[in-house]
Homo-oligomer: A and B are copies of this chain.
Amino acid sequence: LVSHPSLANDELSKMSKDSKQWVMQSGDYANQRYSSLKQITTTNVKELRPVWTFSTGVLRGHEGGPLVVGDVMYVHTPFPNIVYALDLTNQGRILWKYEPKQDPNVIPVMCCDTVNRGVAYGDGKIILNQADANVVALDAKTGKELWKVANGDAKKGETMTGAPVIVKDKVLVGISGGEFGVQGRMTAYNLKDGSVAWKAYSVGPDDQMLIDPQKTMNLGKPVGANSSLSTWQGDQWKTGGGATWGWTSYDPQLNLIYYGSGNPSTWNPKQRPGDNKWSMTIFARDADTGMAKWVYQMTPHDEWDYDGVNEMILADIKVKGTPVKALVHFDRNGFAYTMNRETGELLVAEKYDPAVNWATHVDMKTGRPEVVAQYSTDKNGEDKNTKGVCPAALGSKDQQPASYSPDTGLFYVPTNHVCMDYEPFKVSYTAGQPYVGATLSMFPPKGETHLGNFIAWDASAGKIVWSNKETFSVWSGALTTAGGVAFYGTLEGYLKAVDMKTGKELYKFKTPSGIIGNVTTYEHGGKQYIAVLSGVGGWAGIGMAAGLGGDTDGLGAVGAYKQLSNYTQLGGVLTVFALP
């Protein structure tokens, strides 16, 4: 018997290069969200119009987006995590529907709305990460369940919102629960039957973390023994967080996967002295074994909830004149990092929102941010309200993924422009109960009223090329296209098209609800389509999604986005656009 570990990968790699399809949530393994389709151009995009629409039958935040595989579109929903297979030859007629049965008690242990960032396709299967931490494989043709495994225990606050990623014969699955003291990890399941291939924790002993003290590197040096354990007091790492609810990318040449870990638990930094490694960290791991090749912690000893999970975009670019296999990462903490993705070397770290004030800069030798004392919630201490920290806990960017265009060499980034007051308080751990320990409120930077920008970023210079103001944070993922048009959605519900060179707005359409989904494109029957889910929610929309009203409700996000309900209401609709 010969095993074919690379089969699914080969097929997927090939399919992801066929711009007519959209076979993984990020468009490709590099997480570039770029399409070489170019029927829709800066000249004709104003003629765009909806051509069909589809209500998912579910309200609340719709993150992620549809997959397109051949003639079939796969659409997922927030809890209860329904999956639809829609017939593209027949305006979305439903081929099959899969609706898992889940205990609704999982809803209150999801920190930031009942979101789900989408399904994965590979080897004739659709993989779904359920909210209740079950991973399910469905037959892509029939929707029949093939296998199902528990990736966590919702009773302990372990849930899932992130999209699975299929690499070779494995499914990579993260976990949520940084607000419930989970021990974050990335797990690789065998695509065939759901058995565990490897599991790598974000915090803890080296063997649990799949760290080799000698071979796992940090800014060019081996991490050494107990690199995580030595940065925690006692057993605190066991409820130490570092959840892995964001995006995963993959470099087939290097055979490395990349993803980030989230905040250390609790949000009260006083309670967990030390760097709290490897929370807030970029991990580069071997795709077959899970062994860590390199790590880099953006925010040691987090005092602001700046989860490091935002997507790693892999792009071969010139950095200061030299061609680099780069990884570009727009962190919650407001710095955009350009790294050598092979070595983990730090090349550029600059603020991508001028409002960022919690640190002056990143020390390029140590890789550590220079924290401004005034904004240190640890220094100011428990039961003290640290005021005016920028960005807010939801970062200068959150789950909404950016896009890279090889045509312009620029990154197109949906951003937040929000600051906060942060007051830590003592909290004790109880399984399944919030382990937060801070009261927050959020607002725009002083003297300003807009809560977001959509920017173009030069990752070599570490500079904003252009920036468009948005009334609310841009919580939707961007798409770039060879037609010279970038697309993104707004919390008010507009799908917008802008000129990638100048940022000039070329088209907008008010979809049924606020957009926190990611814009995708595909070609069918010779025609280019643009598709996006609308359905307001996520952390920014948690007020409406969960029916909360107090300014500090929803972990502090409700106040800042209160005006949103004057523009849009809950929904759950796919809108598909095309030229006439």
Contact of A92 with B by CB under 8 A: yes
Residues of chain B within 8 A (CB-CB) of A567 are 93-94
Residues 548-580 of A, flagged 1 when their CB comes within 8 A of B and 0 if not, give 000000000000000001111111110100000
Q: How far is the CA of A568 from the CA of B93 in the complex (A)?
A: 7
| Shortest distance between the CB of A59 and any CB in chain B (Å) | 7
Contact of A261 with B by CB under 8 A: no
Q: How far is the CA of A493 from the CA of B90 in the complex (A)?
A: 13
| Shortest distance between the CB of A167 and any CB in chain B (Å) | 32
Contact B509 A52 (CB under 8 A): yes
Contact of A183 with B by CB under 8 A: no
Q: A49-B50, A57-B570, A571-B57 are in contact. Are A565 and B512 (CB under 8 A)?
A: no
Contact B50 A569 (CB under 8 A): no
Residues 190-233 of A, flagged 1 when their CB comes within 8 A of B and 0 if not, give 00000000000000000000000000000000000000000000
Contact B510 A92 (CB under 8 A): yes
Category for how many chain A residues contact B: 20 to 34
Q: How far is the CA of A562 from the CA of B194 in the complex (A)?
A: 34
Q: A49-B50, A97-B565 are in contact. Are A91 and B510 (CB under 8 A)?
A: yes
Contact of A56 with B by CB under 8 A: yes
Q: A571-B573, A573-B573 are in contact. Are A53 and B512 (CB under 8 A)?
A: yes
Q: How far is the CA of A569 from the CA of B57 in the complex (A)?
A: 5
Residues 156-187 of A, flagged 1 when their CB comes within 8 A of B and 0 if not, give 00000000000000000000000000000000
| Shortest distance between the CB of A308 and any CB in chain B (Å) | 33
Contact A573 B52 (CB under 8 A): no
Residues of chain B within 8 A (CB-CB) of A50 are 49-50, 53, 509
Contact of A55 with B by CB under 8 A: yes
Contact B512 A55 (CB under 8 A): yes
Contact of A81 with B by CB under 8 A: no
Contact of A511 with B by CB under 8 A: yes
Residues of chain B within 8 A (CB-CB) of A572 are 55, 571
Contact of A338 with B by CB under 8 A: no
> Which B residue's beta carbon lies closest to that of A569?
B57
Contact of A54 with B by CB under 8 A: yes
> Which B residue's beta carbon lies closest to that of A97?
B565
Q: How far is the CA of A5 from the CA of B166 in the complex (A)?
A: 72
| Shortest distance between the CB of A439 and any CB in chain B (Å) | 28
Q: A565-B94, A565-B97 are in contact. Are A510 and B53 (CB under 8 A)?
A: yes
> Which B residue's beta carbon lies closest to that of A53?
B512
| Shortest distance between the CB of A377 and any CB in chain B (Å) | 36
Contact A52 B570 (CB under 8 A): no
Residues of chain B within 8 A (CB-CB) of A573 are 53, 55, 512, 571, 573
> Which B residue's beta carbon lies closest to that of A94?
B566
A55 partner, pick from B51, B84, B92, B513, beta carbons under 8 A = B513
Residues of chain B within 8 A (CB-CB) of A97 are 565
Q: How far is the CA of A91 from the CA of B510 in the complex (A)?
A: 7
Sampled A-B contacts (6; CB under 8 Å)? A55-B535, A55-B572, A59-B59, A94-B565, A94-B569, A97-B565
